Amino acid sequence: MTNEKKIIIDFIDYYEHPQKLIEILDGIGDFLSLTKTKYGIEIISFCPDLTQNENYLNSIIQKSNIRDQKIEIITEFNNTVEFLKKISEANISINMRYHGAVLSMIYGIPSINIVYDIHPHYPNKMNYLSKLFNMEKFFINFSEINRDKTKNLLVELIKQKNINIKMKTISQNIRLGTKREYSKIFK
């Protein structure tokens, strides 16, 4: 994906709510049809469960309106450096996993973060992250996400000027504050 921009997606739910995943992908497809920018799509795995279910994910893609898009499913990485490099190269990320949201924020990648509100512990940490980075607008509950909301959030996301600089600044301030606090504790 040399001259095109990149959208990275990380999913949690594979079997219980396939229609939701199709709606998210359809919203991405609707967004792509509105923009003149060429995007490649990479679906990445944080866990081995996707590695074992790549055929299922391909069947979801085939039922969506992005089936004709260039999509790469990446289920394995050689090491952490390779994984982090892949994340850092994204222009937009769509995250269902907390760690994807955190990494997007740290790297200053404009992102839509889907709060997996049907799981008991995900809302707390994802909502905290949204407040920490003052990005509540781009965090949406899984139970509320649909095709139109996905498209509209992506459109709003690319309209934001300097959103990546804002996130990188907040991330840097958090790191500096943490370092200061640790230096007080561990003199």
> pLDDT in tens for each of the 187 residues of the chain?
457 999 999 987 666 788 999 999 999 999 999 999 999 999 987 776 655 678 888 889 999 999 999 899 888 888 888 988 999 999 999 999 888 998 888 888 999 999 988 877 778 888 888 888 888 999 999 999 999 999 999 999 988 877 777 777 877 777 777 777 777 777 6
CA dihedral of residues 168, 125, 147, 53 (deg, nearest 10): 100
Predicted structure pTM score: 0.85
Q: Are 165 and 171 in contact (CB under 8 A)?
A: no
Question: What CATH code would you report for 5-185?
Answer: 3.40.50.2000
